[in-house]
């Protein structure tokens, strides 16, 4: 295969990866622009400070509320699009996205929700979670507006959701890698999350690019040597005869 075609193939792989990295499917099948794993810095709302952190043992009881139409179509705190008919929720400090199990303590109904937004921000501190309108309907408190609930983080599902959104730690820092929705990059048989596949493809492309440069440089050097050897001998290239040394006497 000609070297130039390998170069163009390398650039095509890189361009396809970058082009596909801007979108990813959300839980309800819609496309969420720029979803990313996020913990966030401490922030202040109405005089109250909140301190987001990773917590894989979260298990609390409190009051749940719901939000819907006024926020439909808006960007959530981690870059997704809020859909009032999806099974999602907002939390003040949990990382995003994670999956929590919410149980209505009045009727025993329970459901898993994807946390992808911040809230609720109300004066009462016992309000611990805001759920979508559809989630409130499933839990049975849409008409009443609020309900006592237990919120538990689902660790296996949360790790999968966070990994798919780019949860990677390098030297203590969170690195949000892009996700790819193209099935050609999914390769489920490898058992790797999408960000790991992107890292693998990038590493392979980088190695290929390095060796292409080495081969190209080697070919250019050999061509220069052959061209030099094929040049006719000129006066400047003729071997010079050794100078005679004049002896005294």
SS3 1: coil
Q: What are the structure tokens assigned to 237, written together?
A: 């290239």
pLDDT of residue 55: 83
pLDDT of residue 108: 97
Residue 206 CB coordination number (10 Å): 12
Which own/partner contact pairs does 18-24 have at CB distance under 8 Å and 24+ positions apart? 20/180, 20/181, 20/182, 20/185, 21/178, 21/179, 21/180, 21/198, 22/178, 23/181, 24/164, 24/165, 24/179, 24/180, 24/181, 24/194
- What is the CATH T-level fold of the domain 26-165, as seen in this structure? Barwin-like endoglucanases (2.40.40)
User: Distance between the two ends of the chain, CA-based, in angstroms?
Assistant: 71
pLDDT of residue 23: 39
Among candidates 94, 76, 152, 95, which has minimal Cα distance to 86? 76
pLDDT of residue 82: 94
pLDDT of residue 165: 86
Question: What are phi and psi for residue 48, nearest 5 degrees?
Answer: -100, 135
pLDDT of residue 171: 45
User: How would you write the pLDDT of the chain (249 residues) with one tens digit per residue?
Assistant: 555 555 555 555 555 554 444 434 444 433 455 568 999 999 999 888 999 999 899 999 999 999 999 999 999 999 899 999 999 999 999 999 999 999 999 999 999 999 999 999 887 779 999 999 999 999 999 999 999 999 999 999 999 999 888 876 544 454 544 444 433 444 444 444 445 555 666 667 666 666 666 566 666 656 665 666 666 655 555 556 555 555 565
Domain spans of the chain?
1-21+180-230, 26-165
Q: What is the pTM of this model?
A: 0.58
Give the number of C-alpha atoms closer than 13 A to the C-alpha of residue 157, restricted to the C-beta side: 12
pLDDT of residue 59: 97
**Cα–Cα distance for residue pair 151/170, rounded to 1 Å:** 30
pLDDT of residue 142: 96
């Amino acid at each position: 295969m000609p070297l130039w075609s390998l170069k163009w193939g390398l650039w095509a792989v890189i361009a396809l990866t970058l082009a596909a990295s801007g979108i990813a499917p959300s839980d309800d099948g819609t496309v969420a622009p720029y979803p990313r794993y996020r913990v966030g810095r401490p922030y202040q709302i109405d005089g109250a400070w909140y301190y987001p952190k990773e917590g894989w043992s979260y298990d609390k009881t409190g009051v749940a509320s719901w939000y819907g139409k006024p926020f439909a179509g808006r960007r959530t705190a981690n870059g997704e699009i809020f859909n009032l008919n999806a099974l999602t929720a907002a939390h003040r400090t949990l990382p995003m996205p994670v999956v929590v199990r919410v149980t209505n303590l009045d009727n025993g109904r329970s459901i898993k929700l994807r946390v992808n937004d911040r809230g609720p921000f109300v004066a009462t501190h016992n309000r611990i979670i805001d759920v979508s309108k559809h989630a409130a309907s499933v839990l049975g408190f849409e008409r009443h507006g609020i309900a006592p609930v237990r919120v538990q983080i689902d660790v296996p599902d949360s790790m999968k959701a966070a990994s798919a959104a780019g949860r990677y730690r390098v030297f203590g820092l969170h690195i949000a890698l892009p996700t790819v929705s193209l099935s050609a990059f999914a390769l489920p048989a490898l058992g790797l999350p999408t960000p790991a596949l992107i890292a693998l493809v990038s590493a392979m492309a980088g190695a290929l690019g390095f060796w292409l440069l080495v081969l190209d440089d080697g070919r250019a050097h050999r061509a220069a040597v052959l061209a030099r050897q094929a040049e006719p001998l000129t006066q400047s290239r003729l071997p010079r005869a050794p100078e005679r040394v004049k002896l005294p006497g």
